[in-house]
Structure 1
Amino acid sequence: MTLSLFLHRTVFMTSQVSRRWRPRSLLQLVLLAFLVVMLPIAVLMFQAGQALSELSNLADVSARQAVEQTRRARALSNLAIEMERSARQYAVVEQPGLMEIYAEKAQEFAELLESQQRLLPDNPNIKALREQIQTLITFPSLPVDELSLRLDEFASFAEHTDAMRTATSRQIDNRIEAISVQAAEVQRRLWLQTAALVSASLVLMLLFTWLIIRPIRQIERRILSLGSGREPASAQLIQGPAELVSLGERIDWLSVRLAELEAQKQQFLRHMSHELKTPLASVREGTGLLSDNVAGALTPRQREIVELIDASGQELQQLIEQLLDYNLLQHGQPAYYERFDVSGVIQEVLSKHQLALDKKEMRVIASQRPLEWVSDRDRTARILDNLVSNAIAYGEDGGRLEIRVYREAQALVLEVANSGEPIDDNDRSRLFEAFYQGRARRKGALKGSGIGLSVAADCALAQQGHLALVDDDALAVCFRLTLPWNGDSVIENDNRQSHSVPTLGTDARN
């Protein structure tokens, strides 16, 4: 009851204090925590000191009293012996000085017996001794013959004196035992107080730890939400010391600033795609008209230049689409799963790059065996498109391009490998970072954007898949795409409103 009542009062007082006064700084909160946690320990030390002081005083007084009472009992025994000796000698030699000594001893015995009675007030031996000493005091006034006849009374007097001394020793032993019992009780009480106060200190430590950790955890969750891009609609108010509250306000400011920058980036990408696609469409349309001989027949040299302009426009269109794809992936557009033929997607992508492959004189070996799979068709095609484009850009002129497809347990494995210069070991760790361009030089008139492989890796991750650079015994560069079976997600997609990712091969002239 005492411990629960103490803890209840502690929690109540702490809540009242926290309502009326909150630490303005982290330093104040830490100092307050140390003071409050040390308070029960200080109370324990004070109570232990008082209990030890009380026991020490009691033991000191008891020891002094025991010594005094033991000496008095011994003195009474000695006086009884001397009184008997003096009386018997007087009865023999009849010397008056012996009775004077006897009278002095008897008077001293009576005084000491009065003091001893306060120690043993109800002891029958002391009562008997008091009656006998009143009789023995009168012996000096008796004739010698009568005194000699009453000397036998000293035997009973000696017995009662020895019994009184034994009772005194027993009383002292009982007092020492009582002190031992009291010391054990004090020790037990100190252990209970120690357990209660240490528990209270632990509870207070946990309370102040929570008061310090709670705003830090709130800030941590806020930072994680900012980093993941899933910012809650209403940010939780940071409660705690002024430093952490100020830090939370700065995080709020940073969140607003990041949202503004993100909006500016989105606006820039929208404007860029529109502004770039408009003149690009005119260029592509003009080259198409020239290729169709609308403006007249072209000489072989002119047709070569028109084809070069059209290929460059197509490559520029691909770069714009990669930027838009990267932007869509960064905003976590959900995957749309459907059943499709993997070999059909491969042929579709290869037909798109056929002119570039012919120009580079690359020999293509691709799997044409039908293989149905359930995944995001558009994202899978985008991954394959980026890998083939990468092989054309960095592959060897007149080299070889292989596309392999096979099943491995419950996963689809698609490998795109090409001959040429191997990727440097220093570039492997950053190969899928956005806008990172390695040491290898891109072949062609245009420089790459450095986001093709990043888009491919993000498309794989959106389908719970994985894209990695692996070693191949036959070819220098080999990328391996692993996609899980997503057949269970087809029903879920059918129940949702249909929304598709923009088609990979949208012509800029549209």
Structure 2
Amino acid sequence: MTSAVSRRWRPRSLLQLVLLAFLMVMLPLAVLMFQAGQALSELSRLADQSAREAVEETRRARTLGALALEMERGARQYAVVEQDSLLDIFDERLAEYRRLLARQRELLPDDPDVKALAGLLDRLAELPGLPMEAFQDRLTDFLPFAEHTEAMRHATNRRIDDRLDVIRTRAETVQHRLWWQTAALVSASLILMLLFTRLIVRPVRQLERRILGIGSGGQQARVSPVQGPAELVSLDERLDWLASRLDELEEQKQQFLRHMSHELKTPLASVREGSSLLADGVAGELTGHQREILDLIDASGSELQQLIEQLLDYNLLQHNQRLETERLDLATVAKEVLAKHRLALQQKGMVLSCFDGPLVWQADRTATGRILDNLISNAIAYGEDGGQLEIRAHARHDRLVLEVANSGEPIPEEDRPRLFEAFYQGRIRRKGALKGSGIGLSVAADCARLQHGSLALVDDARLAVCFRLTLPRPAPGNEHQDTDSAIAEHHARNE
């Protein structure tokens, strides 16, 4: 169960987490859009203001030029016709020029032409009060006056061009700032996206690991509880419940196998003991037909005992038995196993071929004996009467290869993928009075995996069925170490 602290710091639902992630990822983008709008508004305002000022200043400079021309024209006309109304017009144009020049001086405060024009205006203001002869002599002042007016107009245009350059530079600065802000805020959005993706994916992966751990049946340490949306936390709690239920069911299954195997062995021992007493003539001499029936009972009891022993082997493997490896002669092990099946081979009429020893290898005697016993039992049960049984083995530098092959009916292709599953029975039926349990090959494959080896069905050029056991050579110094990793692998594959 999750703690109060973990509940406090996680979203209440997956929908809330997704919505929060969307809002947090969109927040930097919204800030970027806002800042871009602010920058564009600033540039638009600056451009509009500059355009208005440029139009006004250009128009004022042009008006000053026109007034200077009218003033000169009016003064020269007065010098010819001597009308006082022309002097009034001259005074009006002079006053208007002085007013506009004052505003132009605000734009060009340090311009020498503007200062020169101010001095020339004072001289031109003296013209109406001069005698005609002096008036005519002073008309030459209009030439520098026009030159300075034109120079002031050019200075105004340059000032407008400089202001446009400032606006252009400002626009480039804003553009670069927007690029950096875009990169930073988009990066922030990506980081937030990755963060929220991790917040969503992490509990999902924790649940995935929990499910894989439950499915593999391994005894794994309990991982930290899922901290995330309520749906995933609830699913984690359900998985806890499921894992505990599976553990209980597994324990019940193991207990059932143990009790059933041991309970079956007790009456079976009585049956076999009674059949042995009858065979020894304790209850009197038996007829030929009675002895035939007694032999059938004894053979069936032997097969039933073998099935029970296979169940016990399977149960032991499920309980993580440790291996005890030693240097042993595999030829001796094979002959010991064959001795158990000598009567069955004789009844079957099979021709036996077994490799000669010594063939020394580092292995577990019990597990290797179980593999050979199950493979030979299968060969006798499913092989053809009067057929061949070959046991071959050879050691290489890094591995040992042992093969058990027999003649008879080949194993169908559709049965091969599930051949080593526990309790799986293929389409080929066992020859004999009793049906097999379907765990012999599963036990053999588990014994191979516990020794870091493998058991596989391979093709043989001469015989129909061939099983190949491959055992790796143990690393130096690891011959007597526990095989916990092999046991874990056994559980992961067997479940």
Under a length normalisation based on structure 1, what TM-score does the superposition of the two structures give? 0.89
* Equivalent position of 2:432 in the other structure: 444
Distance 2:240 2:107 in 1: 82
SS in 1 for 2:392: strand
Structure 1 residue 121, shift from structure 2 partner: 2.4
Asked if the contact 1:337–1:489 (Cα under 8 Å) also holds between the matched residues in 2, the reply is no
Structure 1 residue 75, shift from structure 2 partner: 1.6
Name which of 428, 434, 459 aligns with 2:422.
434
Deviations 1:115-160 (A, max 9, x none): 2122122323222212321331332333221111111111221222
Distance 1:58 1:257 in 2: 74
Asked if the contact 1:375–1:487 (Cα under 8 Å) also holds between the matched residues in 2, the reply is no
SS in 1 for 2:115: helix
Deviations 1:458-506 (A, max 9, x none): 111111111111111211111111111226366534999xxxxxxxxxx
What letter is aligned with 2:252?
Q
Asked if the contact 1:338–1:490 (Cα under 8 Å) also holds between the matched residues in 2, the reply is no
Distance 1:290 1:338 in 2: 43
Asked if the contact 1:413–1:483 (Cα under 8 Å) also holds between the matched residues in 2, the reply is yes
SS in 2 for 1:446: coil
* Equivalent position of 2:267 in the other structure: 279
Asked if the contact 1:356–1:392 (Cα under 8 Å) also holds between the matched residues in 2, the reply is yes
SS in 1 for 2:73: helix
Asked if the contact 2:79–2:132 (Cα under 8 Å) also holds between the matched residues in 1, the reply is yes
Matched, 1:324 2:307: no
Alignment CA distance shift 1:487-1:34 (3 Å): closer
Structure 1 residue 29, shift from structure 2 partner: 0.5
* Equivalent position of 2:490 in the other structure: none
Matched, 1:40 2:28: yes
Matched, 1:180 2:168: yes
Alignment CA distance shift 1:282-1:489 (3 Å): farther
Name which of 321, 324, 345 aligns with 2:333.
345
Matched, 1:193 2:181: yes
Distance 1:21 1:431 in 2: 51
SS in 1 for 2:239: helix
- Show structure 1 runs of 5+ residues with no match: 1-16, 497-510
Pairing 1:4-19 to 2, within 5 Å after superposition: none
Structure 1 residue 20, shift from structure 2 partner: 5.7
Matched, 1:138 2:126: yes
Pairing 1:177-326 to 2, within 5 Å after superposition: 177-326=165-314
Pairing 1:62-101 to 2, within 5 Å after superposition: 62-101=50-89
Distance 1:38 1:495 in 2: 54
* Equivalent position of 1:336 in the other structure: 324
SS in 2 for 1:429: helix
Distance 1:483 1:468 in 2: 12
Deviations 1:207-239 (A, max 9, x none): 212211221122112112212222445452221
Deviations 1:359-395 (A, max 9, x none): 1111111112321111122111111111111111111
Name which of 132, 154, 163 aligns with 1:166.
154
SS in 1 for 2:480: helix
Distance 2:103 2:174 in 1: 32
Pairing 1:387-402 to 2, within 5 Å after superposition: 387-402=375-390
Alignment CA distance shift 1:495-1:37 (3 Å): closer
Alignment CA distance shift 1:334-1:488 (3 Å): farther
Distance 1:312 1:18 in 2: 63
Farther-moved stretch of structure 1 (208-217 vs 120-129): 120-129
Name which of 451, 457, 469 aligns with 1:463.
451
Structure 1 residue 320, shift from structure 2 partner: 1.0
- Show structure 2 runs of 5+ residues with no match: 485-495
Name which of 471, 475, 480 aligns with 2:463.
475
Structure 1 residue 261, shift from structure 2 partner: 0.3
Asked if the contact 1:404–1:416 (Cα under 8 Å) also holds between the matched residues in 2, the reply is yes
Deviations 1:276-329 (A, max 9, x none): 010011112222333334444444443333332222111111111111222222
Name the % identity: 68
SS in 2 for 1:469: strand
What letter is aligned with 1:23?
P
Count of residue pairs the alignment pairs up: 480
Asked if the contact 1:416–1:480 (Cα under 8 Å) also holds between the matched residues in 2, the reply is yes
Structure 1 residue 444, shift from structure 2 partner: 0.3
What letter is aligned with 1:167?
A
Asked if the contact 1:79–1:105 (Cα under 8 Å) also holds between the matched residues in 2, the reply is yes
Under a length normalisation based on structure 2, what TM-score does the superposition of the two structures give? 0.91
Farther-moved stretch of structure 1 (124-133 vs 425-434): 124-133
SS in 2 for 1:192: helix
Give the CA RMSD over aligned residues.
2.2
Asked if the contact 2:325–2:479 (Cα under 8 Å) also holds between the matched residues in 1, the reply is no
What letter is aligned with 2:153?
R
What letter is aligned with 2:230?
A
Farther-moved stretch of structure 1 (207-216 vs 303-312): 303-312
Farther-moved stretch of structure 1 (178-187 vs 286-295): 286-295
Distance 2:473 2:219 in 1: 31
